[in-house]
Amino acid sequence: MKLDEAESTMQKTVESTQRAFNTIRTGRANASLLDKVMVEYYGTPTSMKSLANISTPDSTTITIQPYDRGTLNLIEKAISMSDVGLTPNNDGSVIRLNIPPLTSDRRKEFVKLAAKYAEEGRVAIRNIRRDALDSIRKQEKASEISEDEAKDQQDKLQKLTDKYSAKIGELLAEKEKDITTV
């Protein structure tokens, strides 16, 4: 594994962690809360975005307007069965989700969940570093690169690891601020 490969994989890990953070409620309406909700459409799990227009008309409401009215009940059922924790209101053409204000206990739970996602991201980055280090050591052992080059690459790899771990830390701090802000 080369350094540029390791860096791109670490970047993808940070993006994945950001997507995980987006699924955590902050007390404000956000269409990405529904990213993980899958609708059983003709026997196939389908993302909500491909079946409906999702919008946030104000800070406490999410509206879901299906492209096909026949999917309205399927979408409502999928939201009810999901772990989003919101009750859908179906008026026959649009589903509305009212976002209630978060209690302090619920905020604490969401902060813990965000910390868990961040730690998973950091672990993934450390695993990428470990794989890259193994690759560098193999190259050194096979005399493909010199000892100095190997040391250089290991230092660069550690800097990359620190950089992307710090990015996850920044994202976590930002998300915690969003969650705890009333």
Q: What is the CATH number of the domain that holds 116?
A: 1.10.132.20
Token representation of residue 9: 């994989």
* Identity at 115, one-letter amino acid code: A
> Tokens 């969003």 identify what position?
178
| Domain assignment of residue 42, given as a range | 31-98
| Mean pLDDT (the chain, rounded) | 87
Q: Judge if 71 and 122 occupy the same domain.
A: no
Q: Domain boundary residue among 45, 69, 98?
A: 98
Is residue 54 predicted with pLDDT exceeding 80? yes
What does the pLDDT look like over 100-157, one tens digit per residue?
887 888 888 889 999 999 999 999 999 999 999 999 889 888 888 888 888 999 999 9
CB neighbour class for 47 (10 Å; exposed up to 12, middle 13-18, buried from 19): middle
- pTM equals 0.73
Token representation of residue 81: 């069965």
What span, in angstroms and rounded, lies between the C-alpha atoms of 91 and 171? 37
